[in-house]
Amino acid sequence: MLKHPEVSKLEWVRGKVDERGDDLFQQTLNNSSLQVYRGIRDGNGAVYELENQVVQDGDQIERLERDTYDYSQIFFIQQKRSWTNLDVTFQLFDTLMNTYKIFSDFWKCVLTFGRKFEENEFEFPGFAASYTPSSSPSDMLLVKSCEYAYMLRRVELHGRPTDEGQSPWSIRQTAVYHKYVFDQNCSDDCATESKSVFVLIAPSQNFERQLSGGLKLDVHQRHLVSPCKVQQLLVADSLKGWMDYMAWLEAKLKAQSDRVVFAKVGMKENNISSLADFNINFMDRQELKLLEDSVADLRIILPTLLNTVIQIRKQCQLGCSTYCVNTDHKWNCCWIVDQFDGYIRELEMHVERAHVLKDKIRSTATLLSDLLSYENAVALRNLTKETQNESKSMIELTERSTKDAAAVKALTVISLVYLPTTIVANFFSTQFVHTSDSGVMQVSTNAWLLAAIALPLTIVTVATWWLWVNGRGVASLKLPKKLKSEGFESKNLFKWILPCKKKTQDDMEAGIGVPQHYVYEEQDSPRTLTVATPTMQSAAEKYDY
């Protein structure tokens, strides 16, 4: 069986309220504050009193609903700060909703309040209306009552101390519910014989002052408090800050745009950064992103507000043309409708300016991104030049090393030429060869010892060198598994045991006798094997083998 749409909507509302109840309403009646302005008329329909009351319980709400002398009731629900709980308990507010039979669409407006950490513009509903038809076709009026709910967004200076880059503005909201109950038996002016009920959540203090002054003036002049007048004050209050806020956004954008537009591009002598004179960096792009988000919120808020004001004007014009018979009331309604026409034109202008702001931010952001890309390209070009210069230096160093190697080779060849002579001279300078007193050269009978010792020593030296280089005959030396996995094979054993490292002055000062051990260091890339003294042990990973 399909459920009635209103039943499904109520179930959805109850689920949302249960989910956010603790963040939405006060928990105790001590912190609850529900006020009502009452416009009271006498038995002849004349206005004679305005009364402000504090509602404490549900019984008082029921008595207010049954009071036939009240032609206007305006309920106020406040909150201490814009992101805190409403100053009313759920029980008291639910009694108000049920007693006055407020339609469920108003809950969508209520759920935008309460404790929260960030604002989501897509949570705010648009204009909603509902009409209750007459119970009998013979009634003079087509509808018994009409009710509508909507949100009004406003922007205000929050007055808090702000750091650099923070906004001094806050975007706040007011939820409005209005119900107009018509007297089905009205004979002359239905406006004086009907009842208007407002529920206002978190209106501004400025609106409260204007409404209080306007209500007192109407009562003093024996005039009705027009529902359209109340809504006109609400709309006027919500519009007054948008122009200044958009001017502030444009000024912030202009400051960012000037820094980007007047930045000097091109390299200067001894200057690596092409934009160093303006110090433009990625933080400027982040500030532009914040401005872009603010303008994006404007493009959601202002069109929604424009549509809401259009619907309010439509409802006021319909009510004036249908129910205001008295000439004074008729003139007052026409004036209010004209005011709404002005508000609509103002909002249309704000919407157009929001589009212009968006285009300007997009243009500035594009230029800034291009400049940052250009600076990166210049930096890469400079890096390429430095790499080229370094490559040239390495080529020159390699050429010098080649020349030095050739010189060493030549010296080696020369040394080999003189080596036999040196050996012979050394042999004759030993005790094995001597000259007698008569001048005769004599060779010692033990000269064979020189060959007997030199030849085996030469063989051992050559064999040891060959083993170090090729590692073919070394079976007892084993490398760690981790070193083998990194490519340290037996053919590199000689380099591993005696690394060819140029001695530095620090090495000479440390002394040849400083004990050394081999440490395998795991660096980012590649992994290396280094020789470490005891002072390096804390910075290396040691392998025991």
Domain boundary residue, one of 395, 421, 439:
395
Residue with the bigger pLDDT between 28 and 415: it is 415
Q: 163 and 16, same structural domain?
A: yes
pLDDT tens-digit map of 202-221: 999 999 888 888 777 766 66
Residues in the chain, total:
545
Evaluate if residue 527 carries a pLDDT over 50: no
Percent of the chain with pLDDT over 70: 72
Q: What percent of the chain has pLDDT above 90?
A: 28
Give the number of domains in the chain: 3
DSSP 276: T
14 and 146 fall within a common domain = yes
The tens digit of pLDDT for each residue in 51-96 reads 788 888 889 999 988 887 788 899 999 988 888 889 898 889 999 9
Are 106 and 196 found together in one domain? yes
DSSP 446: T
User: Is 459 inside any structural domain?
Assistant: no
216 and 313 part of one domain: no
In a domain, 26, yes or no: yes
> Helix, strand or coil for residue 127?
coil
Q: Give the chain's mean pLDDT.
A: 77
CA distance 348 to 74: 30
Sign of CA dihedral 271, 276, 282, 288: negative
Shared domain check, 280 and 207 = no
- 166 and 80 share one domain: yes
For residues 246 and 221, state if they share a domain: no
In this predicted structure, what is the pLDDT of residue 374? 79
Q: Which of 197, 225, 253 represents a domain boundary (last residue)?
A: 225
First to last CA, the chain: 81
* Band (449; pLDDT cuts 50, 70, 90): confident
| Average of per-residue pLDDT across 157-176 | 86
Cα torsion 525, 530, 532, 537: sign = positive
Predicted pLDDT at 509: 44
Q: What is the pLDDT of residues 469-499, one digit of tens each?
A: 887 544 444 555 544 554 444 445 445 444 4
Distance CA 499, CA 493 (A): 10
Identify whether 206 is part of a domain.
yes
In the predicted structure, residue 539 carries a pLDDT above the cut 80: no
Burial grade of 167 (CB within 10 A; 0-12, 13-18, 19 or more): middle
Q: Residue 231 domain-assigned?
A: no
**In this structure, is residue 410 part of a structural domain?**
no
DSSP 89: B
In a domain, 431, yes or no: no
Provide mean pLDDT across the span 180-194.
60
Q: Is pLDDT above 50 for 140?
A: no
* Residues 215 and 251 reside in one and the same domain: no
Instruction: Tell me the pLDDT band of 16, cut-offs 50, 70 and 90.
Output: confident
Local confidence band at 261 (pLDDT 50, 70, 90 cut-offs) = confident
Cα separation, 443 vs 431, whole angstroms: 9
The tokens of 416 are what?
């080999």
Q: pLDDT band for 533, please (50, 70, 90 cuts).
A: very low
Q: Give the pLDDT confidence of 387-402 residue by residue, as tens digits.
A: 999 999 999 999 999 9
pLDDT band at 233 (very low <50, low <70, confident <90, very high): very high
What lies within 8 Å, CB to CB, of 1 at 6+ separation is: none
Least confident of 34-48, 251-265, 422-436: 34-48
Please report whether residue 473 resides in a domain: no
**The pairing of beta strand 70-77 with beta strand 195-201:** parallel
528 vs 460, more confident: 460
Split at pLDDT 50, 70, 90, the class of 142 is low
Average pLDDT over residues 135-159: 78
Q: 362-374 burial, b for 16+ CB within 10 Å, e for fewer?
A: eebbeebeebbee
Taking the model in full, what pTM does it have? 0.67
State the residue range of the domain holding 130: 1-225
Average pLDDT over residues 157-185: 83
The answer to whether residue 232 sits within a structural domain is: no
Pick from 186-190, 201-205, 234-238: least confident: 186-190
Residue 180 token pair: 């107009």
177 close to 198: Cβ distance less than 8 angstroms: yes
257 and 176 in one domain?
A: no
Asked if 501 and 353 sit in the same domain, the reply is no
Q: Do 63 and 149 fall into the same domain?
A: yes
Which candidate, 272, 200, 207, places its Cα nearest to that of 237?
207
- Pick from 225, 249, 282: which residue ends a domain? 225
258 shares a domain with 217? no
